[in-house]
């Protein structure tokens, strides 16, 4: 009985090591994600978010007065209703943004010019106390487009995570991918020399110019079929 108990303890103690090894193996076979920026807030003041305004602004008590702060890098919302007024969409608070920020404290980071010509205050928001980069999180979760206006820092990082959200169909990109699928075009499927493109994931093949082609490798259509690649539903290549 004691031996069995001891053996169980040994097995359970080895589980974290095995999981760590497996994660390392997967990471070596996958891609290296770009990390979030690290900021030190030990000497910063945290401000209470009193209201979430539309899709890209909050109201806080800043320097002893109620101030609206716009989020740098956050553009228009992703919508599957192109005929709906953008102004109407932007006035309605985003549920994710409200859940992340309302009633929470935030730290602020600014570009060189934190106030624009209209007197609007623009900032990067980091939630206290966990330091979550709110601006980037809204992009990563697939709820907003990247707006490069005033985006002097982190532009490459924002565009990188926007592209990943599109590819994986996160957030509202999921609905966009479904509604933007066009009917299959007519191709000459007997043309076995036709060139298609595959990505590092190597599960689907695409037409040149497909937005899912983060990386691309040209391949003959016949070869793609032999390797069991499936046609992309978005760009509808030859079948």
CATH code for position 99: 2.40.50.90
Q: Report residue 58 as tokens.
A: 């909050």
Rg (CA), the chain: 24
Segments of 54-104 assigned E as strands:
57-62, 65-71, 74-77
Average pLDDT over residues 34-39: 85
What's the pLDDT band for 63 if we cut at 50, 70, 90?
confident
Q: Is residue 22 part of a domain?
A: no
pLDDT in tens, 74-86: 886 654 444 434 4
pLDDT in tens, 5-16: 555 555 555 554
Q: Is residue 162 part of a domain?
A: yes
Q: Are 167 and 177 in contact (CB under 8 A)?
A: no
- Residues 126, 233 share a domain: no
- Residues 52, 141 share a domain: yes
The answer on pLDDT for 153 being more than 80 is: yes
Q: Is residue 129 part of a domain?
A: yes
The label of the residue with tokens 């709110």 reads: 134
Strand order in the sheet with 217-220: 217-220, 195-198, 204-206, 230-231
Distance of CA 226 to CAs 43, 185, 221, Å? 60, 22, 9
* Dihedral sign (CA 133, 135, 136, 138): positive
The answer on pLDDT for 179 being more than 50 is: no
The label of the residue with tokens 């095995």 reads: 18
Other CB atoms within 10 Å distance of the CB of residue 235: 21
Q: What's residue 41's pLDDT?
A: 94
For residue 206, give its domain range.
182-239
Beta partners for 62? 65
pTM for the complete prediction? Answer: 0.58
Q: Report residue 136 as tokens.
A: 């980037």
- Residues 169, 187 share a domain: no
Measured between alpha carbons, how far is 54 from 126 in angstroms, rounded to an integer? 18
Q: Report residue 179 as tokens.
A: 């509604």
**Domain boundary, last residue among 160, 177, 194:** 177
Q: Are 172 and 80 in contact (CB under 8 A)?
A: yes
Other CB atoms within 10 Å distance of the CB of residue 129: 11
**Total domains, the chain:** 2
Q: What's residue 130's pLDDT?
A: 93
């Amino acid at each position: 009985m004691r031996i069995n108990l001891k053996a169980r303890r040994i097995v359970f103690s080895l589980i974290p090591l095995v999981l760590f090894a497996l994660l390392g193996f997967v990471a070596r076979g996958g891609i290296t994600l770009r990390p979030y920026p690290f900021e030190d807030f030990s000497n910063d003041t945290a401000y209470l978010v009193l209201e979430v305004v539309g899709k890209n602004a909050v109201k806080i008590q800043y320097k002893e007065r109620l101030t609206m702060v716009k989020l740098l890098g956050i553009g228009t919302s992703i919508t599957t209703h192109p005929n709906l007024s953008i102004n109407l969409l932007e006035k309605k608070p985003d549920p994710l943004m409200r859940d992340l920020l309302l009633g929470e404290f935030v730290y602020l980071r600014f570009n060189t010019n934190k106030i624009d010509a209209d007197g609007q205050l623009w900032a990067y928001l980091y939630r206290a106390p966990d330091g979550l980069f709110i601006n980037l999180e809204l992009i990563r979760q697939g709820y907003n487009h990247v707006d490069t206006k005033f985006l002097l820092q982190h532009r490459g990082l924002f565009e990188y995570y926007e592209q990943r959200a599109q590819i994986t169909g996160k957030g509202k990109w999921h609905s966009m991918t479904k509604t933007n699928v066009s009917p299959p075009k007519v191709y000459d499927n007997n043309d076995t020399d036709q060139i298609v493109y595959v990505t590092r994931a190597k599960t689907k093949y695409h037409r040149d110019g497909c937005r899912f082609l983060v990386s691309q490798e040209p391949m003959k259509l016949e070869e793609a079929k032999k390797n069991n690649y499936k046609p992309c539903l978005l760009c509808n290549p030859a079948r």
